[in-house]
Amino acid sequence: MGPAEEENEGVGEAEFCSTTRVALTARQFPGLRPAFCVEEGTHVSAGDILFTDRRRPAIRFVAPTAGTVQHIEYGPRRTLGALVLDVDPVRDTPPPVAPKENLRETLLTHGLWSSFRTRPFGHIPDPDALPDAIFVLALRRDPAAPDPAAVIAPEAARFAETVSRLTELTKGLVWLCQHEGPALARETGRIRISRSGKRPADTLPAAHMRRHNSVADGGTVWTILYADVLTIGRLLETGQYDPRLVVRIDGPFVARPREFSLLLGADLREIAHVEARPDAGTVRILAGPPGAASEAAWLGPDDQCVTLSAAKPFQRDGGATWLGRQARPRPRPILATNQLDAALPRGLHAVPLMRALAIGDAETAQKLGVLDLLEEDVARLSTCCASGMDYRPLLRGVLDHLEMET
Amino acid sequence: MRSAARLRLPSRIAALRASAHPTGVWAAALALPAFAALLERGVPWAGLLLTIAVAALAWEQVFGLLRRYRPSAEGVVTALAVSILVPADVAPWKLALAVSLGVVLGELVFGGRGFGFVNTPAACLAFLSFSFPDVALAPVGGAIVISTLISGALLIVVGLVSWRVLVAAVLGLVLTLWVSTGAVSPVALSPFAFGVVFLLADPIGAASTRPGRWVYGALGGFLAAMFGVADPVTGGTAIVFATLFANTFAPLIDQAVIEVEVIRRRRKHG
């Protein structure tokens, strides 16, 4: 099926939903310092270069669709804040690009290198790096998220072909992490299937890494999301850069909860405006799994669910007085409850790790295997822990510390 | 319909786990044995509970004032647990003194309930036994044991108590008694039943890793048997000191579990 025929069909059975604005933001590429190649007002086509990594100019970031650069913003310390594109109302198909023989070159040139993340630390890998293994994550983050197998199904052959080409980037194995069910690619040579277990924690990327190639004591592996593999597959086969994601929109304020396909960086406020029930009033847009979602304005690459929930109630500050003094709420402890035991993959002990993260003890955390983990793996801890701490920033602090030491 | 009903129960339990305040759940679980104690022992027991609660809450507010925290009533949990093992004839000043020491040194100096490493009621009762050797802890009656079993089931469902600790403790106790005396009398085990749920298995002092919980529970059961939990006179004291010893060893047990895990990981992934 050619790209033109697919145009209005979307990915899988999910309908494609377009927005008038898309953006590349700090949420998608945290800590990235860009060197911009465009200015506000520049017109770009899909796949045109927007900016490069200032430190590693070979890594490019491209426009997800044709449009005009509306707004460029830096974040703190000259990091990327946001680059907002006004999408062209008529979607024209740019001439297909001819992918090079070398996959590494192709991905770098066409802005797809940034789909890889390293473990440990979760950065975009160096252009010439060779990982010990690559993990393709065809995992749903929570039970409500779209089923990766169903999303991949219409493009199954393309997906399997792309997974097999990923072996060109590593000397080791390519692990396809998926749920129970038929294999999403054929297991041959250096391609292996890793199936998630029954426990919720077994569906975390860290569980697969922990089983097959732990990086807790050294080494580097890369991860890539299945949606990015599909995008690479489309580029290799059709020459079109077409980064679409299938997400589920849900929540008490959604008129019609369903799955649809969106462009990477799509404007979620616009989607919320269209999809919210007429009587909803002000809604809060959350992206990510329930319980661990964060407020988001633009669709990120690893968002599988968009939730519209009630606006945050106004909270009284803790200025209540107690015998005329400023009184604070009592801090709550980390309680070693039974459900925390199963909140992390096998071999990772949640409560000792949480204690180490809470006090910033990087040495103990490393011993406990923290290098296998990224924010998405510890999100569940925050929802089970009586202390109400968010372990994601604590984990990032410890990882930053460990990275500085090495 | 049936499948919907089947789905609803786990989701309700999950909601209960997520929303329940741990101290509140613990207090609710203790309320049942406390009610049984009120029925069994009557008004004198209520007087003891009042004495303990006043002492525990007073120190909590003093520390709260110093640290500028809002007033709280977490000491009630300690008071309920202590009151069940305290004999009716103990002088109120002795009780208040022991509870003050236990609450301050067991949790308040560490920052409050949950921040220490020992079970606070066990610390209070240990101070009482140490300071006043003539005081023997109260025997626990049948109604309290039955209500403890119900509360224990609730705590397991909510996840505050690990069934692994309970099973390991019972196994440790029964094996030790069987090896040392050749007989296990279930009647003599009533203080153990209460102590193992509300003192030994308290997540604040227990081991926090899954294999560690087995070792911790077995150690608690073994120590309780060695300290004479089967003897009606020393039963209460035995479980209190077994808890304190096991609490002290819990961090070491966890550390050992982690070391073993590190060795296993390095062997597998180099």
Q: Please name the residues in contact with B204: beta carbons below 8 A apart, sequence gap of 6 or more.
A: A333, A335, B113, B114, B116, B117, B118, B119, B120
B116 close contact with A: CB closer than 8 A: no
Q: Decide if A338 and B159 are in contact by the 8 Å CB cutoff.
A: yes
Contacts of A386 in chain B (CB under 8 A): 21-22, 114
C-alpha A320/C-alpha A177 separation (Å) is 50
Match 């295997």 to its residue by tokens.
Answer: A369
Residues of chain B in contact with residue A328, where contact means CB-CB under 8 angstroms, are 68-70
Closest CA to A185 of A247, A230, A240: A230
Would you state the pLDDT for residue B238?
A: 92
Q: Tokens 């290098």 — which residue?
A: A371
Going by C-beta distance under 8 Å and a sequence separation of 6 or more, which residues neighbour residue B72?
Answer: A330, B60, B64
Q: Are B65 and A323 inside 8 Å of each other by CB?
A: yes
pTM, full prediction: 0.87
Give the whole-angstrom CA distance, residue A75 versus residue B242: 57
Residues 67-106 of B with CB under 8 A from A: 68-72
Rounded mean pLDDT of chain B? 88
Q: How many CB atoms lie within 10 A of CB B60?
A: 25
Query: pLDDT in tens for each of the 406 residues of chain A?
Result: 333 333 334 445 678 888 889 999 888 888 889 999 998 888 888 888 999 999 999 999 999 888 899 989 998 889 988 899 998 877 667 777 776 678 888 899 888 999 999 988 989 999 999 999 999 999 888 788 888 888 888 888 999 999 998 888 898 999 999 998 888 888 888 888 898 888 888 889 999 999 898 898 888 999 999 999 999 998 888 888 888 888 888 888 888 888 888 888 888 888 888 888 887 777 888 887 666 677 788 888 888 888 887 776 665 555 555 555 566 777 888 888 888 888 898 889 999 999 999 999 999 999 999 999 998 888 888 888 878 788 989 999 999 999 998 7
Contact B64 A341 (CB under 8 A): no
Contact of A188 with chain B, judged by CB distance below 8 Å, is answered with: no
Per-residue pLDDT tens over the stretch A204-217: 999 999 989 889 88
Q: What's residue A1's pLDDT?
A: 33
Cα–Cα distance list, B210 to A339, B118, B119, B219, B261 (Å): 11, 19, 19, 15, 12
Taking CA atoms, B176 is separated from B194, B226, B239, B244, in Å, by 19, 8, 14, 19
Residues of A in contact with B268 (CB under 8 A): 214
> Do A335 and B69 count as a contact with CB atoms less than 8 A apart?
no
Strand order in the sheet with A258-263: A15-16, A258-263, A244-250, A305-310, A283-287, A294-295
Q: What are phi and psi of B95, to 5 degrees?
A: -60, -45
Query: Dihedral angle at the C-alpha atoms of A141, A144, A149, A155, nearest 10 degrees?
Result: -100
**B210–A217 C-beta distance less than 8 A:** no
Alpha-carbon torsion A142, A134, A164, A3, what sign? positive
Interchain contact, B265 vs A333, CB within 8 Å: no
Sign (positive/negative) of CA torsion A83, A88, A89, A90? negative
Q: How far apart are CA A19 and CA A263, in angstroms?
A: 8
Which of A212, A349, A355 to mutate to probe the B interface, most B CBs <10 Å? A349
- Cβ pair A267, A323 in contact under 8 A: no
**B159 near A CB under 8 A:** yes
A334 contact residues in B (CB cutoff 8 A): 114
DSSP one-letter string for A116-130:
-EEETT-PPPPTT--
The first and second tokens of residue A129, run together, are 């790096």
Which token pair is B8?
A: 């609803």
Contact assignment for A339 to B162 by CB distance below 8 Å: no
Q: Which of B131, B258, B144, B172 is nearest to B207 (CA)?
A: B258
From first CA to last CA, the distance across chain B in angstroms is 52
CA distance B132 to B266: 52
Which ranges of chain B have pLDDT less than 70? 1-20, 187-188, 270
From chain A, the residues in CB contact with B270 under 8 A are 217
Of A217, A328, A337, the CB nearest to B68: A328
